[in-house]
């Protein structure tokens, strides 16, 4: 169980870019992905900003090499996962014991919604091809088939902690010598069900979100996919290029406080972060940057902030919420932010927390507001805290 697990490749698509290069450029130029709704058919168009991927299903299908009749979830997943595999450059990939562990929360619901709109108007209408890939596992299987992965395939759905759980599950499979390489992360596409649900909870900001600001009003929903290629030490030694970092720690905890809210004292958040530190054998003072879960809701930010105060006070590392760029991508957030964490270590950069103006009165710290280069970034803590109190933290370290 002590064998290290390395990040050999990364892939990402979100509202701020269709690949790693575009994503880094958007982060450095402070270009957020939120805008009026363009692709999703909804009554909230021109009312609620979202962070949509800036491509239609037809354009995504061309990139993915799949039919545009496939769910948007599967298309986004395939694109980002293929990027990660290509980036890793594993020459003998097909001969290795490989796995694909992908998280999502909506499955093919985007297509199902289209089916029922037509079917309810006329029960002789509605295309059945729109419902056959409804369940969450279908998107995973479609992407895995495209990648040629057959040894182990699994789908994880634990709300907003889904991708983080997928990543450290993949690491455990490698540590237990069950697999040599795992493509892990997650995906989610915007759907009417999701948008309507979060709107009912009254936690959507009608303006661009401002995480950890005293005057925060809620989150902006987003979509996208992010994957890392995890490899064993043996596989890492065969690679022609240097790995990004190692996954040195991880932990999952559940405070079981509420179906959709975190405990105000941040119990689950604290247990996840401290558990990741313990597994990595690191102290709070070893952390150089925290990629906050930071949704921008009243409940999340105070819960996460209280846990950070408890664990790090009085020496706080730099921190920020990149959801101020990508929106809250739900099941994809842990994967997207894992990619950003790996890039932070590789390039020595800290991301800004956009639209932050006023420090929360309950907290003794504030997030970064500038894109910082040439930073010492050896250890990054990435937080993903979901509904039902399901809290996970990943810890990435320089090799």
Report yes or no: 354 and 45 within 8 Å, Cβ to Cβ: no
Task: Please report where in the chains the tokens 């009912």 appear, as a residue.
Answer: 200
What six digits make up the tokens of 249? 């720690």
Q: How far apart are CA 339 and CA 334, in angstroms?
A: 9
305, 399 contact by CB (below 8 A): no
Q: Over range 373-382, report the average pLDDT.
A: 98
Q: Which residues partner with 232 through β-bridges?
A: 5
The pLDDT confidence band at residue 1, using thresholds 50, 70 and 90, is low
> What pLDDT score was predicted for residue 336?
98
- Say what the pLDDT of residue 74 is: 98
- Cα separations in angstroms, 266 against 274, 277, 285: 12, 17, 20
Average pLDDT, the chain: 96
Q: Strand ranges (DSSP E) for the chain?
A: 5-14, 98-103, 152-156, 181-188, 224-232, 245-254, 289-291, 318-320, 379-385, 390-397
> How does pLDDT run across 336-350, given as a tens digit for each residue?
999 999 999 999 999
Work out the angle at residue 323's Cα, subtended by the Cα atoms of residues 50 and 138, and round it to the nearest 5 degrees. 70
| pLDDT in the model for residue 307 | 97
Task: For residue range 156-195, list pLDDT tens digits in order.
Answer: 999 999 999 999 999 999 999 999 999 999 999 999 999 9
State the pLDDT at residue 164: 98
Say how far apart CA 222 and CA 77 lie, in whole Å: 14
Which whole number is the average pLDDT over 76-101?
97
Is 328 in a helix, a strand, or coil?
Answer: strand
**What is the per-residue pLDDT for 339?**
98
Distance between CA atoms of 367 and 292, rounded to whole angstroms? 9
- All structural domains of the chain, each given as residue ranges with its CATH number in brackets, are 5-236 (3.40.47.10), 247-397 (3.40.47.10)
Catalytic residue set: 160, 293, 328
Position 2 pLDDT exceeds 80:
no
Confidence of residue 151 (pLDDT cuts 50, 70, 90): very high
Predicted pLDDT at 351: 98
Output the six-digit token pair for 2: 């002590």
| 17 pLDDT above the threshold of 70 | yes
pLDDT given at position 254: 87
Is the pLDDT at 146 greater than 60? The verdict is yes
Q: pLDDT-based confidence at 3, cuts 50/70/90?
A: confident
- Asked whether the whole model's pTM tops 0.95, one would answer yes
Tokens of residue 285, six digits: 């003072």
pLDDT in tens, 240-290: 999 999 999 999 998 887 777 777 889 999 999 999 999 999 999 999 999
Per residue in 50-63, pLDDT (tens digit) is: 999 999 999 999 99
pLDDT for the residue numbered 107: 96
Residue with tokens 């247990």: 271
What's the rounded mean pLDDT across residues 73-94?
97
């Amino acid at each position: 169980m002590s064998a290290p697990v390395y990040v050999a490749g990364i892939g990402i698509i979100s509202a701020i870019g269709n690949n790693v290069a575009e994503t880094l450029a958007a982060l450095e130029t402070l270009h957020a992905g939120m805008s009026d709704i363009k692709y999703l058919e909804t009554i909230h168009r021109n009312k609620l900003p979202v962070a949509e991927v800036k491509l239609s299903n037809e354009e995504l299908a061309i990139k993915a090499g799949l039919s545009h009749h496939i769910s948007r979830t599967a298309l986004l997943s395939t694109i980002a996962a293929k990027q990660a595999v290509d980036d890793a450059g594993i020459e003998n990939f097909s001969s290795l014991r490989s796995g694909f562990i992908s998280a999502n929360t909506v499955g093919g619901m985007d297509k199902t919604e289209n089916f029922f709109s037509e079917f309810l108007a006329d029960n002789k209408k509605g295309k059945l091809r729109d419902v056959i890939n409804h369940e969450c596992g279908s998107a995973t299987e479609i992407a895995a088939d495209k990648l040629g992965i057959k040894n182990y395939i699994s789908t994880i759905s634990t709300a907003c902690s889904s991708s983080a759980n997928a990543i450290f599950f993949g690491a455990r499979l490698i540590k237990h010598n069950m697999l040599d390489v795992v493509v892990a992360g997650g995906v989610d596409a915007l759907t009417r069900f999701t948008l309507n649900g979060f709107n009912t909870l009254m936690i959507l900001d009608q303006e661009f979100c401002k995480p950890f600001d005293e005057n925060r009003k809620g989150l902006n929903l987003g979509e996208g996919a992010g994957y890392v290629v995890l490899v064993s030490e043996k596989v890492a030694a065969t690679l022609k290029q240097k790995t990004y970092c190692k996954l040195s720690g991880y932990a999952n905890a559940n405070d079981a406080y509420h179906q959709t809210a975190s405990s105000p004292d941040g119990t689950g958040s604290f247990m996840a972060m401290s558990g990741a530190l313990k597994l990595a054998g690191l102290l709070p003072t070893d952390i150089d940057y925290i990629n906050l879960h930071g949704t921008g809701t009243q409940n999340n930010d105070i819960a996460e902030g209280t846990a950070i105060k408890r664990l790090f006070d009085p020496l706080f590392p730099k921190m920020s919420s990149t959801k101020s760029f990508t929106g809250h991508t739900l099941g994809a957030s842990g994967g997207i932010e894992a990619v950003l964490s790996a890039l932070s270590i590789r390039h020595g950069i800290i991301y800004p927390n956009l639209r932050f103006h006023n420090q929360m009165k309950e907290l003794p710290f504030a997030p970064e507001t500038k894109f910082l280069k040439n930073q010492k970034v050896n250890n990054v803590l990435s937080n993903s805290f979901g509904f039902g109190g399901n809290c996970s933290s990943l810890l990435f370290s320089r090799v």
